[in-house]
Chain A
Amino acid sequence: MASGILVVCEHEDGAPKKTAYELLSKARSLAAELGGDVSAVVIGSANAANLGEYGASVVYTADGSEFSSDGTGSWASALAAAIVEADPAVVLGAASVDIRSAFPRLAVRIGAGMASDCTDLFIQDGVLIARRPMYAGKAFADVSISSSVALYSVRPNSFPGAAPVGGSATVSPLSVSHSEAELASKIVGVEAPKSETIDLTEANLIVSGGRPVDSSENFDRLIRPLAEALGATVGASRAAVDAGYAPHNEQVGQTGKVVNPSLYIAAAISGAIQHLAGMRTSRVIVAINKNPEAPIFQHATYGIVGDIFEICPLLTEEAKRQGIGR
């Protein structure tokens, strides 16, 4: 019978990502209640063995250039192979671009139910419940899954990453059979990013600018230097993106990225419902706005009533002076 938890551990430059540690740590505490082992699966080339120190008893690996991303659907095939080997009751992955594309195909292939972008997982009366935002976080639903294997994608930064507990894992390479659909597509190019940045959805610190920033030049002058000084990722409101001040992939909100950082600085963002929906789970929110009545202040941990043209450069200077972000 299916038991235990399989964690999809993503990696970057050969090392596990922060989300891998967050999920392994949560998997350990859930497995202590539900029973069964914690195992991990690593897709693509990475150092897999050290995951044993974080509680994985077996690490399944699918190595090969076709597994560099799920662009062709190869991850669904690798994960299906891992599930045959591990026979888990629960599969956890981060709500990343590749998991978002792989899990739905996997769910159909193995007949599993799936809950997307969960922000909490807990056990109630012996049943695993996933709490997940709906309507971009304007409401939350507690979801249960009845299939013998259940898939959960988890929003980054939802759980703390744990320290190593010691232990070692057996590394077990998978034999993956590729689907017809997968062979009908091929990655023919990878375009490098313009700058080295952390994805908004995985970022721990975010500085976002609103429409009053007033131009892309001002984004470069006010928002980006502040983000750089703090070691943060840049975001923008829908109005700022629609006005052309920032690119689409920097939009935070219900029709952009939904983010979950430790710190979200909203510079000249009034706090429209659709923007709040995209960032309200941030642990600490700082609002900087000229208008003391702006709705964002009702959600802010700290507020400054002031002009971003004055405050942002001062913040950048102060962050540098105090040696933040180094």
Chain B
Amino acid sequence: MKVGVCIKRVPGSDSRINVGDDAQGPDLADVGWEVNPYDSFALEEALQLQESGAASDVVVFTVCGPEGDAKIRDALAIGKRGKCGASKAVRLDDPAFAGSDAIGVARILAAAVKKEGIDMVIAGKQSIDGDSAQVPAMMAEILGWPSVCEVTDLEVDGSAIKAWRAAGSGKREVVALSLPCVITADKGLNTPRYPTLPGIMAAKRKPIEVVDAGALGLDTSTVGASAALVTVAKWSPPPARPQGRILEGDASAVVAELITLLRDEAKVL
């Protein structure tokens, strides 16, 4: 079984995102980048499948320009000593991809996954920049594969897959499916490892293949800004919160005051 892992580089979760006065999107000049945390769960799961013998190969996919190479190397560096980790990365890069919406990105990734002969795609449940949580399930639909989203436990026995997902009201569902398929990873699936020094050295020698629309056989009229159905018209900072107030005095008096305020002033109890 060949596993494909989709990753994206995103501003770290501790980054401040400042929207400029021109409402034209955030200024990301000074943010620290990291591999999307949910994609790290996806990668870790793929590597554990490799280490257990269930996966024969792991390939990393990303839609990005050369600025993404540093984070791709971080992903390629993870793995156990003696085991290889991901064998290579495929960076999907073409001027025609610029401005793609989620369906466009899903078309690019689906074409690449097909070309590489991938049997199982594992991706983060969402990227923490756009927060759309759309691309992986869209890929599955384009490929005609089953998908299970927000998976917190995964069992692979040959081509029989079992995936556990939260199903609302605290219930967990177990979905059985066969290959090929798409799985999206939620927190709780595993604990991602950090890269080791030998891993970092090994990652330097691993190939990052740069693949464009032509090599994918992708019709460029189906991707990029001109094909996008969803467009951002305007950005704004979060709405300001009204000035709050600190309740002062003896603990039991403050507590009684708080309950009264919540009930009678804020009317939330």
- Chain A residues within CB distance 8 Å of chain B: 12, 69, 71-73, 76, 96-98, 100-101, 103-105, 107-109, 111-117, 129, 131-147, 150, 179-182, 184-199, 205, 230, 247-249, 251, 253-256, 258, 262-263, 272-274, 277, 280-281, 283-286, 292, 297-306, 310-311, 314-315, 318-319, 322, 324-325
Contact = CB atoms under 8 A, between A and B. Distances in A.
Given A71-B167, A113-B229, A190-B173, A314 B238 contact: no
B255 to A, nearest CB: 4
B95 interface: no
B246 A304 contact: yes
A1 B32 CA distance: 47
Given A72-B175, A145-B230, A283 B146 contact: no
Interface stretch (B114-122, B206-214, B257-265): B257-265
Interface stretch (B1-9, B76-84, B148-156, B195-203): B148-156
Given A105-B147, A145-B231, 8 more contacts: A12-B168, A135-B26, A140-B238, A142-B236, A185-B178, A255-B128, A292-B246, A299-B241
Contacts of B254: 304, 306, 311
B172 A114 contact: no
Interface stretch (B11-19, B51-59, B66-74, B86-94): B11-19
A150 B228 CA distance: 13
Contacts of A69: 167-168, 173
A280 B242 CA distance: 12
A187 B37 CA distance: 28
B244 A113 contact: no
A304 B238 CA distance: 24
Interface of B: 11, 13-17, 19, 26, 37-38, 101-103, 106, 128-138, 140-142, 144-150, 152, 162, 164-178, 181, 186-188, 228-239, 241-242, 244-248, 251-252, 254-256, 258-263, 266, 268-269
A322 B259 contact: yes
B262 to A, nearest CB: 7
Contacts of A187: 173-176
Given A144-B231, A324-B259, A114 B134 contact: yes
Contacts of A184: 145-146, 177-178, 181
A181 B140 contact: yes
Contact of A302 (B15, B102, B134, B247): B247
Given A135-B128, A146-B231, A181-B141, A297 B244 contact: yes
Contact of B141 (A76, A98, A303, A318): A76
A91 B102 CA distance: 18
A30 to B, nearest CB: 17
Contacts of A144: 230-231, 233
A192 B171 contact: yes
A139 B259 contact: no
Contacts of B261: 302
* A interface majority secondary structure: mixed
Contacts of A319: 259, 269
Interface centre among B132, B149, B255 (most CB of A within 10 A): B255
A139 B229 contact: no
B231 A116 contact: no
B252 A314 contact: yes
Contact of B251 (A143, A205, A249, A310): A310
B104 to A, nearest CB: 11
A119 B245 CA distance: 26
Contact of A255 (B38, B171, B258): B38
Contact of A262 (B19, B176, B187, B268): B268
Contacts, number: 299
Contacts of A141: 232, 234-235
A188 B175 contact: yes
B13 A255 contact: yes
Contact of B238 (A117, A137, A274, A322): A137
Given A188-B162, A263-B266, A304 B174 contact: no
A193 B231 contact: no
Contacts of B172: 190-191
A142 B141 contact: no
A199 B150 CA distance: 15
Contacts of B148: 71, 101, 185
A75 B65 CA distance: 36
A322 B263 contact: yes
A253 B128 CA distance: 11
A201 to B, nearest CB: 9
B256 A318 contact: yes
Contacts of B16: 138, 273
Given A107-B103, A135-B128, A263-B266, A249 B166 contact: yes
Given A143-B232, A302-B244, A302-B245, A230 B269 contact: yes
A138 to B, nearest CB: 4
A247 B256 CA distance: 31
B9 to A, nearest CB: 14
Contacts of A137: 238
A306 to B, nearest CB: 6
A314 B168 CA distance: 32
A304 to B, nearest CB: 5
